[in-house]
């Protein structure tokens, strides 16, 4: 792959002007792919500030950076003008402590957390992983308490914890955030699945669209619309709502912890997960809107499009 002189000069200027540069899809506040999100989540833990380049907005840089470092994928991390690598290498270096050393950060605490896996959750995990060979169960917990399980090969630097006969692998940051968690198997109106309860997290309440209408009229609750762009395009957010995708998680998480919050999505499923993250962050009055925008359209305002 060739690299024209003008694009090379642009890349070299970026690397000269910024010690740490991440070429990624999307932005630090709104990554547009899972690998870019994983890279920013890791860097956010170690660096208060670093420069990002959204290659989706710059086709020349998107292709040019691949040729510049002879690296075929995005994201790409550069430090002091040198290519470090992509998402997998960033993750590996974070787990080993090499990334901390590179940035002059405090070495990671590798103390294994105490966790609890209930009998129901353990049985569900055993059934779900019965046919998996050569992989381990990993649990990643982000700084905002978003969590996800995945099956992947064990890493040399994983922090491994066993509870109720189930082995769980963590990276250092996830391990520290996992202290005291309870992993359970729950059944709700939204379906069945694994659930994480953090120490001190508040219970999520349900609120009907009728109750929401009344409290919005009173001004006694803050409504947060968690739908992605395509959902907002199909049916715009209510005038009183704050939009998570526009304001960002960090800005909304800075609200006073006693702020009454209600979360709404299309049908009330994804909003439950976001509500749980805010509750884990210490918010004491957290509600999920039953039925979401679809229920609002059916029961409150039929002019709101259903989709």
pLDDT at 191 over 70: no
Residue 30 CA to residue 76 CA, distance in Å, equals 17
pLDDT at 141 over 70: yes
pLDDT at 276 over 90: no
Quick one: how far is CA 167 from the chain centroid? 23
pLDDT at 231 over 50: yes
State the greatest distance between any 2 C-alpha atoms of the chain, in Å, as a whole number. Answer: 62
Residue 20 CA to residue 43 CA, distance in Å, equals 10
* Residue found under tokens 């679809």: 294
Is residue 217 packed enough to be buried (19+ CB in 10 Å), middle (13-18) or exposed (0-12)?
Answer: exposed
Choice among 39, 237, 265, 286 that is catalytic: 265
The pTM of the whole model exceeds 0.75: no
pLDDT at 189 over 60: no
Confidence of residue 56 (pLDDT cuts 50, 70, 90): very high
pLDDT at 145 over 80: no
Judged by average pLDDT, the poorest of 144-148, 178-182, 246-250, 253-257 is 144-148
pLDDT in tens, 70-91: 999 999 999 999 999 999 999 9
Task: Please name which of 239, 246, 276 lies closest in space to residue 261, comparing C-alpha atoms.
Answer: 276
Judged by average pLDDT, the poorest of 165-179, 196-210, 213-227 is 196-210
Residue 18 CA to residue 106 CA, distance in Å, equals 22
Helix (H) or strand (E) holding 140: strand 136-141
33 is catalytic: no
Provide the pLDDT for residue 47.
Answer: 92
pLDDT in tens, 156-184: 999 999 999 999 999 999 999 999 999 99
Residue 79 CA to residue 15 CA, distance in Å, equals 8
DSSP string, 103-115: HTPPPPP-PPPP-
Contact between residue 166 and residue 125 where contact means Cβ atoms under 8 Å apart? yes
Question: Could you give the C-alpha distances from 3 to 8, 64, 84, 243, in angstroms and in order?
Answer: 6, 6, 20, 40
Judged by average pLDDT, the poorest of 26-35, 182-191, 228-237 is 182-191
């Amino acid at each position: 792959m060739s690299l024209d002189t003008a694009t090379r000069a642009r890349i070299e200027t970026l690397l000269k002007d910024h010690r740490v540069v991440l070429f990624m899809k999307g932005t630090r506040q709104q990554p547009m792919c899972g690998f870019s999100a994983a890279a920013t989540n890791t860097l956010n833990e170690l660096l208060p500030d670093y420069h990002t380049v959204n290659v989706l907005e710059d086709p020349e840089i998107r292709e040019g950076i691949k040729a510049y470092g002879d690296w075929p994928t995005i994201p790409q991390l550069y430090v002091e003008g040198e290519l470090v690598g992509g998402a997998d290498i960033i993750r590996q270096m974070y787990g080993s402590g090499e990334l901390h050393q590179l940035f002059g950060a405090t070495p990671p605490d590798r103390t294994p957390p105490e966790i609890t896996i209930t009998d129901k959750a353990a049985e569900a995990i055993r059934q779900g992983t019965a046919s998996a060979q050569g992989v381990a169960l990993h649990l990643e917990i982000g700084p905002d308490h978003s969590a996800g399980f995945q099956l992947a090969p064990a890493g040399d630097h994983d922090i491994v914890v066993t509870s109720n006969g189930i082995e769980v692998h963590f990276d250092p940051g996830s391990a520290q955030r996992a202290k005291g968690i309870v992993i359970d198997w729950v059944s709700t109106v939204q379906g069945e699945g694994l659930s994480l309860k953090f120490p001190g997290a508040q219970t999520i309440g349900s609120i009907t669209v009728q109750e929401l209408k009344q409290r919005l009229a009173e001004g006694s609750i803050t409504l947060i619309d968690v739908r992605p762009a395509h959902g907002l395009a199909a049916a715009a957010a209510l005038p009183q709502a704050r939009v998570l995708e526009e304001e960002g998680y960090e800005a909304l998480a800075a609200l006073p912890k006693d702020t009454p919050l209600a979360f709404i999505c299309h049908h009330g499923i994804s909003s439950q997960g976001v509500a749980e993250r805010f509750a884990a962050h210490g918010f004491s009055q957290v509600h999920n809107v039953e039925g979401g925008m679809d229920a609002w359209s059916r029961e409150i305002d039929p002019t709101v499009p259903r989709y």
